[in-house]
Amino acid sequence: MKKRFDIYEHLAGGTLWEGPDHLLYIERTGWPLAFTESYRRVDYAKIQAISYARTRWFVVLFIALLAVLALVSWGLWATHDSIPGMVIFGALTTVVFVMTVVHLARGPTCVCKIQTAVQVLNLRSLNRLRPTLRCVARLTQLCLQHQGGQALTPEVLAAADALPQAASPTAAMPSFVRGPKPPYPGSLLVKIGLPLLIVGGLMMLAEPFIQHLGFFFAAGLVGGVADILVLLALASMSRYALPASLKISLWGAMVNVILSFVAGYALLMKSTFSTMQDNLKSGRGKTIDANMDFWRWMSDATLADMGWIGWLWMACGGFAILFAIIGLPAGFFGASAPAVSAPPPPLAPPPEAPAP
Amino acid sequence: MAAVRCIYCSRALPSAQVAASNGEVWCDGCRESSSVIALPALLEDGKPKPPPLIEAPGEGDAACFYSPGRKATKECGHCGVLISDVWAAQWGSKVVCLKCLEHLRETTKDATFQSKRVLWDNITALLALTPFTLVLYFLAPFTAPAAVLLGLWHWNSPRSLVPRSRLRLVLGLLLGLLQVGGGVFVICGLWFGWFK
């Protein structure tokens, strides 16, 4: 990676560049490769404060990676007798293992922001503590050079706090720029999605025991609609302070949707291989002659046919019901009642006191 | 003096607390702690300034090039004309007139002044790679020609502000051409019966 270009020198992460009198921060949008770049330039002379804090993402991400590693390792163990399974799960296990090691090596996560009179800029590329400390030290040095002074001492700050606050744009901002979230107001998406999730979960549980193509498609349809509703509910409710049980329910259901997707995809693969093997045995060649064979295998497959995928499928169904039940009471009855305002005063003047 | 903001909830933190805790502050709003480095600019009066009054040039004063009714107070660091405060933009340590600022940003695409760029090399590479994903292979008839056309059209367009080679553009172009060629070969083969 380039260490300097034009008037800039590299500071951190490929997005922070040190200019002669300003900091250049490159914001990228788009995934997996950036489509656009926006350039934010902040004068060193105008930076009022640099804040950083360690976050809990390091632990959360580590646990998540360990969980995924356990899942793919189990897949590797379960498919140790088939070469394609071993190749696929072996590659997945290696990738997740390397990701876990890299995550550990990069160290604790953090957040870093710089404050000027008109904005608080989140430096997203400074998300690991070690490079952040290095970068903050350099940035502080540059700011002090351009502001012609020392970092504010406790005495200066304490003295300044006693003075009346200047009417700067940030000082004029209300105490809460981003206040606490409003309470959960109730949601139709939650009220339809959670009961449907229970129905979908029950159908998933019953599917290996009911060998009927129509039931298989109905289960897929109900489960799919329930999953979409729950995801929409989670997205639309993110701006409210949800009751803890509803939050657990919706986030758990989201993780369950991902697991169900994995189970469904694995089932599709298994059906493809099994149908192909049946065709080879019956001498019809190495192709799936009719799509119906493929779908019929999936609808007629029992737990024994599905193997470990069947157990994953059943677990997903069970968890769908569990998470829906956890969230149902709060989803239906946890909505905060709208504030009752006092009745407006009567428009007519009060009756005059009767004359004595 | 301006207030230091909490890194999580943007609540104003009392300076006395920042001073007493020597930079390690605890926010009562979100109940999280963070480290703060307060800089001298925090003490400056950030009061918004009123727009400059119209001050006519006096005897021997220079007039603004763009508004002759105003007294010139600055000189554009790019074109050199004398300008009044309303026509001046402070850009780091430089002062430029608004005409030059627009010209540098929009026409010259000067790296020091530009605020946004579209990364056509990345878009070309992504379009060419889309059919190689497991689920979007059927988009190849649209994405491959689009990658070729975009790659050729934006061959000389500026890429990222941080200089880099045309590798992504070339890769996208080659992959796109390969897919278009493959598609043409298959269609011709089916049409002329080469595969029988």
Size of interface A-B (CB pairs under 8 A): 191
Asked if A33 and A67 sit in the same domain, the reply is no
Q: Domain for residue A128, yes or no? A: yes
| Average pLDDT of span A167-182 | 49
Nearest-angstrom CA–CA distance, A114 and A124: 11
Nearest-angstrom CA–CA distance, A290 and A72: 32
Nearest-angstrom CA–CA distance, A114 and A152: 16
Q: Domain for residue A248, yes or no? A: yes
Q: Give contacts of B 93-152 with A, CB under 8 A.
A: 93, 111-112, 114-119, 122-123, 125-126
Question: Inter-chain contact A167–B48, Cβ cutoff 8 Å?
Answer: yes
Asked if B136 and B153 sit in the same domain, the reply is yes
* Residues in B touching A150 (Cβ below 8 Å): 40
Asked if A70 and A142 sit in the same domain, the reply is no
Task: Show Cβ contacts of residue A64 under 8 Å, excluding neighbours closer than 6 positions.
Answer: none
- Using the Cβ of B18 and the Cβ atoms of chain A, whether some distance falls under 8 Å is answered with yes
Nearest-angstrom CA–CA distance, A42 and A48: 11
Residue A132: phi and psi, rounded to 5, are -65, -45
Q: Domain for residue A174, yes or no? A: no
Question: Inter-chain contact B116–A20, Cβ cutoff 8 Å?
Answer: no
Burial class (CB in 10 A: 0-12, 13-18, 19+), A341: exposed
Q: Tell me which residue of A59, A329, A51, A49 sits closest to A191, measured CA to CA.
A: A329
Element (H, E) at A17: strand A16-18
Asked if A102 and A138 sit in the same domain, the reply is no
Question: Residues B89, B91, B97, CA angle at the centre, nearest 5°?
Answer: 35
pLDDT band at A175 (very low <50, low <70, confident <90, very high): very low
Q: What is the ipTM of this complex?
A: 0.82
Q: Domain for residue B19, yes or no? A: yes
Residue A16: phi and psi, rounded to 5, are -115, 120
Question: Inter-chain contact A14–B162, Cβ cutoff 8 Å?
Answer: yes
Q: Domain for residue A52, yes or no? A: no
Q: Domain for residue A324, yes or no? A: yes
pLDDT band at A180 (very low <50, low <70, confident <90, very high): low
Question: Inter-chain contact B122–A30, Cβ cutoff 8 Å?
Answer: yes
> Could you report how far apart the first and last alpha carbons of chain B are, in Å?
84
C-alpha distances in Å from residue B87, one per residue of A42, B57, B107: 21, 15, 19
The single residue listed with the structure tokens 């904005």 is A119
| B5, B39, B113, best to mutate vs chain A, most A CBs in 10 Å | B39
State the residue range of the domain holding A203. Answer: 188-333
Helices assigned H by DSSP within chain B: 15-20, 98-102, 120-129, 140-153, 167-192
Q: Domain for residue A115, yes or no? A: no
Q: Domain for residue B103, yes or no? A: yes
Boundary of a domain, candidates B100, B116, B132: B116
Asked if A13 and A133 sit in the same domain, the reply is yes
Q: Searching chain A, which residue's CA lies closest to the CA of residue B43?
A: A160
* Residues in B touching A152 (Cβ below 8 Å): 19, 38-40, 42-43
Handedness of CA A46, A48, A53, A55 (dihedral sign): negative
Question: Inter-chain contact A2–B123, Cβ cutoff 8 Å?
Answer: no
Q: Domain for residue B133, yes or no? A: yes
Question: Inter-chain contact B45–A168, Cβ cutoff 8 Å?
Answer: yes
- Using the Cβ of B51 and the Cβ atoms of chain A, whether some distance falls under 8 Å is answered with no
In angstroms, how far is CA A59 from the centroid of its own chain? Answer: 15
Question: Residues B96, B101, B104, CA angle at the centre, nearest 5°?
Answer: 120
Asked if B19 and B64 sit in the same domain, the reply is no
Q: CB A334: neighbour CB atoms within 10 A?
A: 18
Asked if A42 and A61 sit in the same domain, the reply is no
Q: Domain for residue A272, yes or no? A: yes
Question: Inter-chain contact B40–A5, Cβ cutoff 8 Å?
Answer: no
* Residues in B touching A170 (Cβ below 8 Å): 2-3, 5, 46
Question: Strand A49-54 vs strand B74-75: parallel, antiparallel, or unpaired?
Answer: unpaired
Residue B181: the pLDDT is: 95
Cross-chain CB nearest to A158 (options B5, B16, B46): B16
The tens digit of pLDDT for each residue in B82-92 reads 998 889 988 87
Q: Domain for residue B48, yes or no? A: no
Question: Inter-chain contact B39–A148, Cβ cutoff 8 Å?
Answer: no
The tens digit of pLDDT for each residue in A221-259 reads 898 899 999 989 988 888 788 888 888 899 999 988 888
| Average pLDDT of span B164-171 | 93
Q: CB A103: neighbour CB atoms within 10 A?
A: 16
Asked if B128 and B92 sit in the same domain, the reply is no
State how many domains chain A has. Answer: 3
Nearest-angstrom CA–CA distance, B179 and B141: 8
Contact status, residue B42 vs residue B1, Cβ threshold 8 Å: yes
The verdict on whether omega for the bond into residue B141 sits within 30 degrees of 0, i.e. cis, is no
State the residue range of the domain holding B67. Answer: 53-116
Asked if B128 and B100 sit in the same domain, the reply is no
> In chain A, what percentage of residues exceed pLDDT 70?
83
The tens digit of pLDDT for each residue in B7-49 reads 888 888 877 777 666 778 888 888 888 999 888 888 876 565 6
State how many domains chain B has. Answer: 3
Q: Domain for residue B156, yes or no? A: yes
The single residue listed with the structure tokens 């009756």 is A351
Contact status, residue A287 vs residue A279, Cβ threshold 8 Å: yes
> Could you report how far apart the first and last alpha carbons of chain A are, in Å?
97
- Using the Cβ of B56 and the Cβ atoms of chain A, whether some distance falls under 8 Å is answered with no
| Average pLDDT of span B39-61 | 75
Q: Give contacts of A 180-219 with B, CB under 8 A.
A: none
**Secondary structure (3-state) at B193:** coil
Task: Show Cβ contacts of residue A172 under 8 Å, excluding neighbours closer than 6 positions.
Answer: none
Q: Domain for residue A101, yes or no? A: yes
Question: Inter-chain contact A169–B46, Cβ cutoff 8 Å?
Answer: yes
DSSP-assigned letters across all residues of A122-139: E-TT--BHHHHHHHHHHH
Q: Domain for residue B21, yes or no? A: yes
Contact status, residue A143 vs residue B39, Cβ threshold 8 Å: yes
Q: CB B92: neighbour CB atoms within 10 A?
A: 16
| B162, B165, B167, best to mutate vs chain A, most A CBs in 10 Å | B162
- Using the Cβ of A6 and the Cβ atoms of chain B, whether some distance falls under 8 Å is answered with yes
Q: CB A176: neighbour CB atoms within 10 A?
A: 13
Asked if B187 and B132 sit in the same domain, the reply is yes
Asked if A242 and A287 sit in the same domain, the reply is yes
Across chain A, mean pLDDT equals 82
Asked if A307 and A216 sit in the same domain, the reply is yes
Asked if A61 and A146 sit in the same domain, the reply is no
Asked if B188 and B126 sit in the same domain, the reply is yes
Asked if B17 and B67 sit in the same domain, the reply is no
pLDDT band at A287 (very low <50, low <70, confident <90, very high): low
- Using the Cβ of A127 and the Cβ atoms of chain B, whether some distance falls under 8 Å is answered with no
- Over 70: is that where the pLDDT of A161 sits? no
Asked if B161 and B124 sit in the same domain, the reply is yes
**Secondary structure (3-state) at A243:** coil
Task: Show Cβ contacts of residue A17 under 8 Å, excluding neighbours closer than 6 positions.
Answer: A8, A9, A10, A11, A23, A24, A25, A26, B162
Asked if B88 and B101 sit in the same domain, the reply is yes
